[in-house]
Amino acid sequence: MAFLFLAIAPVCAVTMPARSSSSSAVLSQQEQNKAVARRVFDEIFNQGKFEVADEIYAKDFVNHGEHSDWDLAKDQAAAHFEKQACPDLTIAVGQMVAEGDLVSVLWIARGTNTTRVGWMPATGAKIELRGITIWRIVDGKIREEWTSADELQIIRQLAYQLRWQLLGVICVALFLFWVAYWLIGKLLIRRSSRARAWDSRN
């Protein structure tokens, strides 16, 4: 038995470090992928350094949306819009899990709409949205993305915070509708009375 142990020991001594080295290399790669994912939140969204996208996204990047795919230009245009609408936008990373070349991130976005963007006026509403993003990262570059978030949260938050303004708009709209209905009624009555007068003359 002792002879068998002495014969196997050198083999174990050679193979065990190799396995340890291989597993540490995989772990190191996953940690690197996590670091790349974190840069999206820390630098692009939280600090507004949009030029960083050229460093961490692949040129053939694809964002797989629910209804259509977006290339890098459209993806970053959306990020610009979000940051412009909410200049104080920050995204906090909740949990991050890496497996193979995939990184999953649970995040919470918070911001205040203080800037007018296009036709949309500034509302001053505070927005909070939770979502999850999965990235495929190869050779330090993000190549694919899948993001899921309950966007109805934003509508509910806006509706609640702007309920009095919305009520005012609805009241004004109803008043204008009533005025238009009244004027149209008056015009129809006049035309009808003129028609009857014309008929009575003839």
Q: Is residue 80 a contact partner of residue 72, using CB atoms and an 8 Å limit? A: no
The ranges assigned to domains in the chain are 2-161, 165-193
Phi, psi at residue 48, to the nearest 5°?
70, 25
| pLDDT at position 3 | 35
pLDDT mean over 158-182: 72
Q: What confidence tens digit (pLDDT) does each residue in 110-156 have?
A: 999 988 877 767 888 899 999 999 999 999 999 999 999 987 887 88
| pLDDT at position 86 | 92
Q: Is residue 147 a contact partner of residue 132, using CB atoms and an 8 Å limit? A: yes
d(Cα 40, Cα 201) in Å, to the nearest integer? 82
**Going by DSSP bridges, is the β-strand pair 126-138/102-112 parallel, antiparallel, or unpaired?**
antiparallel
Which of these ranges, 13-27, 43-57, 79-93, 163-177, has the smallest mean pLDDT?
A: 13-27
Q: What confidence tens digit (pLDDT) does each residue in 74-107 have?
A: 999 999 999 999 999 999 999 999 999 999 999 9
Q: Is residue 64 a contact partner of residue 87, using CB atoms and an 8 Å limit? A: no
pTM (predicted TM-score):
0.67
Structure tokens at 52: 């960083």
| pLDDT at position 67 | 87
Q: What is the CATH number of domain 2-161?
A: 3.10.450.50
Look at residue 40 and give its three-state secondary structure.
helix
pLDDT > 70 in the chain, percent = 77
Binned at pLDDT 50, 70 and 90, residue 7 comes out as very low
Q: How far is CA 40 from CA 29, 44, 54, in A?
A: 18, 5, 11
| pLDDT at position 155 | 80
Tokens 């065990």 appear where?
16
Binned at pLDDT 50, 70 and 90, residue 21 comes out as low
| pLDDT at position 197 | 65
Higher-pLDDT residue of 9, 17: 17
Binned at pLDDT 50, 70 and 90, residue 24 comes out as low
Binned at pLDDT 50, 70 and 90, residue 9 comes out as very low
Q: Is residue 29 a contact partner of residue 98, using CB atoms and an 8 Å limit? A: no
d(Cα 167, Cα 90) in Å, to the nearest integer? 30
d(Cα 34, Cα 28) in Å, to the nearest integer? 10
